[in-house]
Structures are given as C-alpha cells and as structure tokens.
C-alpha cells in the first residue's frame, strides 16, 4: 500500500492549472474498489491529500488508495456544489464516460467531442446536459 501523499504528484499532472489557488471546482475520485466519489473543493491538492490520509470523507477512508478521475472548474462555491449534486445524480456509466473523456483530454489524446459526451450524460440522467 502506498503512503497517502505518494502519487499526488502524478495526479497533479492531470489536476487543473488552478489547483490550490482558491478557485472552486468539483471532482470525482476513483477508489481502490472501483467506486467513484464526488466532491467539491477550492483546493484540490489539499483535498486529495486529505482523502489519501483517511481524513477526507468517511466513504473514501475504507476504499484507499484513491486517484483523481475528473475535475471541473466552477465559477464559485455555489456552482461547484450544484455541479457536485449533478454528478451524484449521474449513472455510473455516465460518470465513467465523463472520466474517460477527461483522461483522454489530459493525455493529449483525441477529444471524444463535447456533444457525444453530453448525449451519453443526458441518456444517463434522462435530462439534457447543457
């Protein structure tokens, strides 16, 4: 088992440029058991370290290690919490599409296209995603 702080550098390569600057956003973590956890923060670096140290959330404590699977910048705390709630309503399949498209964009791979991702997300919730 790796230490809680190891691997943060690897996740920071895929973390947003604004990480740790006080800008709000929401995120998905992939837990060791394959489950996904959604949250919102204004300091993703600190929050990810807290999750890995077992101080982040009760859900992730028993599912360590965790890795950053998705990040979405938000304008403010209110919009970050709304986006977090929207993420939590998505089906697992829709969340996986979202994390895969985010990973592909971060790796510099071909973009899956916002429209195709939005269609899958809309199907997962029964709602149109703007």
Distance of CA 120 to the CA centre of its chain: 17
Residue 129 has pLDDT above 50, yes or no: no
Total domains, the chain: 1
Q: What is the pLDDT of residues 70-112, one digit of tens each?
A: 999 999 999 999 999 999 999 999 999 999 999 998 888 655 5
CA–CA distance, 60 with 38 (Å, rounded to integer): 10
Residue 66 has pLDDT above 70, yes or no: yes
Structural domain boundaries enclosing 73 = 8-89
111 domain residue, yes or no: no
25 domain residue, yes or no: yes
**Residue 42 sits in a domain of what CATH number?**
3.40.1440
- Name residues whose C-beta falls within 8 Å of residue 115's C-beta, 6 or more positions apart in sequence: none
What's the pTM? 0.72
Q: What is the pLDDT of residues 1-59, one digit of tens each?
A: 344 344 544 555 445 554 445 689 999 999 999 999 999 999 999 999 999 999 999 99
Residue 126 has pLDDT above 90, yes or no: no
CA–CA distance, 3 with 10 (Å, rounded to integer): 13
Residue 130 has pLDDT above 50, yes or no: no
27 domain residue, yes or no: yes
120 domain residue, yes or no: no
* DSSP three-state, residue 2: coil
CA–CA distance, 21 with 53 (Å, rounded to integer): 21
Instruction: Give the residue carrying structure tokens 């920071």.
Output: 12
Cis peptide before 95 (omega within 30 of 0): no
């Amino acid at each position: 088992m790796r230490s809680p702080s190891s691997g943060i550098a690897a996740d920071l390569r895929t973390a947003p440029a604004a990480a740790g600057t006080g800008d709000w956003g929401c995120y998905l973590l992939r837990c060791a058991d394959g489950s996904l956890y959604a949250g919102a923060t204004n300091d993703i670096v600190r929050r990810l370290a807290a999750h890995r140290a077992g101080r982040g959330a009760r859900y992730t404590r028993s599912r360590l290690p965790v890795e950053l699977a998705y990040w979405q910048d938000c304008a403010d705390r209110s919009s970050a919490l709304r986006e977090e709630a929207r993420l939590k309503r998505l089906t697992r399949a829709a969340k996986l599409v979202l994390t895969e498209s985010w990973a592909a964009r971060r790796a510099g791979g071909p973009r899956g296209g916002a429209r195709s991702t939005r269609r899958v997300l809309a199907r997962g919730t029964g709602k149109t995603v703007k």
